[in-house]
Amino acid sequence: MMRPFAGPWRTLTALLAVAGPARLAVAYDLDPNSTESVTSIAKNMADDLLSFYKGDEPGQTPGLPPDPYFWWMGGAMMGALVEYWYYTKDDSYVETTKRGLLFQVGKYDDYMPDNQTLTEGNDDQGFWAAAVMSAAEYNFPEGRDDQPSWLGLAQAVFNTQAARWDDAHCGGGLRWQIYNWNKGWDYKNSISQGTFFSLAARLALYTGNDTYADWATKTWDWMIDLEFIDKWWYVYDGAHIPNNCTEIVPWQFTYNSGAFILGAAAMYNYTESDEWKGRLDGLLEGAKVFFRGPNNDIMQEVACEPVDRCNVDQKSFKAYLARWMAATIQWYPDSYDRLSPLLRASAVAAAAQCTGGANKRMCGSKWSTQKNDGSEGIGQQMSAMEITLSCMITKRDPILTSDTGGTSEGDPGAGGSEIGRSRNGEPPKKDYPPMTAGQRAGAAILTTIVIGLLLLGIFWLWLDETSDKGPLDQIRGLPSSAAAAAAMVPIAGAASSSRESQFMSEKGPGVQTAAEAGTTPVEEPVPGVAAPAEVKRSSVARHSRRASNMPLGWPHNPSIRWSVAEPGHSGQSSSRESTRGTDDDEIRPAAPAH
């Protein structure tokens, strides 16, 4: 209930700030070539990141981020701190990181803690696994002897997820959710496949065990078969089971692209095959869609950032593309000339806008606009820190494997006794005995209260803070605006069938299409570029609070519009993008209806 009131407060704070010494704020002037500059700025960014974290305080839970963040963000943040240590060797946060990573393992040491069964998805578990996998690859200090090893934890997550591979629907893939009582159980999303794929690929590289590589290949093939990765190497968000995953939710997010880049880089390094090189080159080409600004070299969350629609999860995604592109330079050194300019330009831009907050150095979420957008949070801080660190990637130690000095001890059967506990949607009965009548009545009352609060919340969210009409006047206006929004749904749905014709690609010379490298038939590539979403401001789905890291407005956000760049004009500025997309035939589909 706090959020609706944040607007006026922020305005007030902003006004006070303008009146005060705010204009004296000095932005970070990052020199990406200087280790000293990178480490000192990253140190400040890390300190400011930790200012959001309370997990070490008395009575708090290690590893758990504060409201409004979900559990997975704790894993993402611990991962960022592992990166911070790898790049800087500053051990200020090593104990905090270890404590967080080891506290959340759950009773089977596989990142399925009981407290999270109402929200945990495969992707969420996957972000914790990504963090411990990095810890293994960097020889990050291990926990006590009686605690699980980094590698063992990563293997445990792999084992539980491989056991959940769901051939019964859409020909394979992981569901988004682990537990069938959670919203999103019927969704198969790219990030769940992406975290599993990259984990499998990294385990193959680290351990030399081909079983992991086979799972990575299987996941890749499924993504290509279903065209979750299309022939232009764009990675879309996912699709729903009821229509056999045929209606693809067309959002492109940096983390989806990043997760597949990471896995493909590990597979390339492991196999040294032209096949994986071609796939990796293609994905890197596809990821150019996320680099905008005057020189198309500043990372942007194109689906939501230009129109101020990114939620707290999405504001962290750039951290992972930065982290995983940097790892790609390690595993595929030939990509340096292509990736380094993008990472460096983005880092300079990211650092330059860290002028927010009381200390005048908090990072906002928009790098390509040259000014702080007034937002701050774990995601913003993590993203700016990781892109800054990435400038030093070639000066860091190689990523280790068990053959090159990695010492984390494996446990190939980890999580073993529990591999099947959620298989095919069976809830973990052992942990959850049937409810008694009393519990059920209690649950019903609780549900009623929750729904009541939710409706109240929706009402407040719907109220337009900026409107000068009072609440009652706004209620009177509701039927007409709701009807208008509903009317747009079929239009958006109809537009989805012509996705291909609108969704054009800028395909550089010498890059194989996904179809060429994979098994699907070759089709002619289309010139052009997929342009970011244009969202018409509306009260629908504002401030929406989601159960996990799904696209904003999911499953329907009828107000999302997409614009299409003319071929050869992919370098349009974000200000231009946000004024485009006003024709109805340019509406990009929202997610299909259930």
Ligand X SMILES: *[C@@H]1O[C@H](CO)[C@@H](O)[C@H](O)[C@H]1NC(C)=O
Q: Which residue of 7, 141, 333, 567 would you call a contact of ligand X, by CB under 6 A?
A: 333
Residue 108 binds ligand X, judged by CB under 6 A: no
Cβ proximity to ligand X, 117 vs 563, nearer residue: 117
Residue 221 binds ligand X, judged by CB under 6 A: no
Report how far Cα 340 is from the mean position of its chain's Cα atoms. Answer: 21
Q: Which residue of 56, 221, 225, 465 would you call a contact of ligand X, by CB under 6 A?
A: 225
Stretch that binds ligand X, among 46-54, 318-326, 330-338, 582-590 (CB under 6 A): 330-338
Residue 125 binds ligand X, judged by CB under 6 A: no
Residue 192 binds ligand X, judged by CB under 6 A: no
Alpha carbon distance 231, 95 (integer Å): 45
Name the token pair of 413: 């059967």
Cβ proximity to ligand X, 401 vs 505, nearer residue: 401
Residue 327 binds ligand X, judged by CB under 6 A: no
Alpha carbon distance 172, 217 (integer Å): 13
Which residue in this structure is represented by tokens 């820190």? 385
Residue 244 binds ligand X, judged by CB under 6 A: yes
Residue 104 binds ligand X, judged by CB under 6 A: yes
Stretch that binds ligand X, among 326-334, 376-384, 476-484, 540-548 (CB under 6 A): 326-334
Residue 211 binds ligand X, judged by CB under 6 A: yes
Residue 346 binds ligand X, judged by CB under 6 A: no
| Shortest distance, position 56 Cβ to ligand X, whole Å | 13
User: Which residue has its beta carbon closest to ligand X?
Assistant: 171
Q: Looking at 216-285, which runs of residues are DSSP E strands? A: 238-240, 248-249
Name the token pair of 515: 């179809």
| Shortest distance, position 33 Cβ to ligand X, whole Å | 4
Name the token pair of 108: 């089977």
Alpha carbon distance 563, 525 (integer Å): 19
Alpha carbon distance 532, 303 (integer Å): 5
Stretch that binds ligand X, among 233-241, 329-337, 452-460, 512-520 (CB under 6 A): 329-337
Q: Angle of helix 254-271 relative to helix 274-286, nearest 10 degrees?
A: 160
Question: What 3-state DSSP class applies to 472?
Answer: helix
Name the token pair of 5: 């009131």
Residue 272 binds ligand X, judged by CB under 6 A: yes
Cβ proximity to ligand X, 281 vs 534, nearer residue: 281
Name the token pair of 42: 């990253």
Give, rounded to a whole angstrom, the gap between the first and last alpha carbons of the chain: 28
| Shortest distance, position 571 Cβ to ligand X, whole Å | 21
Please state whether 136 falls in left (phi above 0), alpha (psi between -120 and 50) or beta. alpha
Residue 61 binds ligand X, judged by CB under 6 A: yes
Question: What 3-state DSSP class applies to 243?
Answer: helix
Alpha carbon distance 45, 389 (integer Å): 10
Per-residue string for binding with ligand X, 162-181, x by CB under 6 A? --------xx----------
Alpha carbon distance 72, 127 (integer Å): 6
Residue 60 binds ligand X, judged by CB under 6 A: no
Cβ proximity to ligand X, 211 vs 497, nearer residue: 211
DSSP, residue by residue, 408-445: PPP-TTTTGGGTTTTGGG---TTTSPPPPHHHHHHHHH
Cβ proximity to ligand X, 201 vs 531, nearer residue: 201
Closest by Cα among 582, 587, 593 to 560: 587
| Shortest distance, position 319 Cβ to ligand X, whole Å | 21
Residue 573 binds ligand X, judged by CB under 6 A: no
Alpha carbon distance 369, 521 (integer Å): 41
| Shortest distance, position 394 Cβ to ligand X, whole Å | 10
Residue 209 binds ligand X, judged by CB under 6 A: yes
Burial (Cβ within 10 Å: 0-12, 13-18, ≥19) of residue 586: middle
Q: Which residue of 88, 269, 328, 388 would you call a contact of ligand X, by CB under 6 A?
A: 269
Residue 330 binds ligand X, judged by CB under 6 A: yes
Per-residue string for binding with ligand X, 16-55, x by CB under 6 A? ---------------xxx----------------------
| Shortest distance, position 151 Cβ to ligand X, whole Å | 12
Residue 220 binds ligand X, judged by CB under 6 A: no
| Shortest distance, position 226 Cβ to ligand X, whole Å | 6
DSSP, residue by residue, 553-586: T-S--TTEEEEEPPTT-TT--HHHHTT---SGGG
- Angle among Cα 198, 46, 353 to the nearest 5 degrees reads 95
Question: What 3-state DSSP class applies to 206?
Answer: helix
Question: What 3-state DSSP class applies to 39?
Answer: helix
Q: Which residue of 141, 398, 452, 508 would you call a contact of ligand X, by CB under 6 A?
A: 398
Q: Which residue of 27, 43, 92, 103 would you call a contact of ligand X, by CB under 6 A?
A: 103
Per-residue string for binding with ligand X, 410-429, x by CB under 6 A? --x-----------------
Q: Which residue of 65, 100, 113, 121 would you call a contact of ligand X, by CB under 6 A?
A: 113
Q: List Cβ neighbours of 332 (8 Å cut-off, separation of 6 or more).
A: 265, 268, 269, 277, 280
Q: What is the dihedral of CA 241, 242, 243, 247, to 10 degrees?
A: -60
Question: What 3-state DSSP class applies to 450?
Answer: helix
Residue 529 binds ligand X, judged by CB under 6 A: no
Q: Which residue of 115, 467, 498, 573 would you call a contact of ligand X, by CB under 6 A?
A: 115
Residue 405 binds ligand X, judged by CB under 6 A: no
- Please name the helix (run of DSSP H) or strand (run of DSSP E) that holds residue 346, with its range, or none: helix 336-352
Please state whether 509 falls in left (phi above 0), alpha (psi between -120 and 50) or beta. beta
Give the binding-site size for ligand X (rule: CB under 6 A). Answer: 25
Q: What is the CA radius of gyration of the chain?
A: 23
Cβ proximity to ligand X, 47 vs 397, nearer residue: 397
Q: Which residue of 332, 503, 554, 562 would you call a contact of ligand X, by CB under 6 A?
A: 332
Q: Which residue of 41, 226, 343, 531 would you call a contact of ligand X, by CB under 6 A?
A: 226
Stretch that binds ligand X, among 230-238, 300-308, 318-326, 331-339 (CB under 6 A): 331-339
Residue 331 binds ligand X, judged by CB under 6 A: yes
Q: Which residues contribute to the site for ligand X (CB under 6 A)?
A: 31-33, 61, 64, 103-104, 113, 115, 170-171, 209, 211, 225-226, 244, 269, 272, 330-333, 398-399, 412
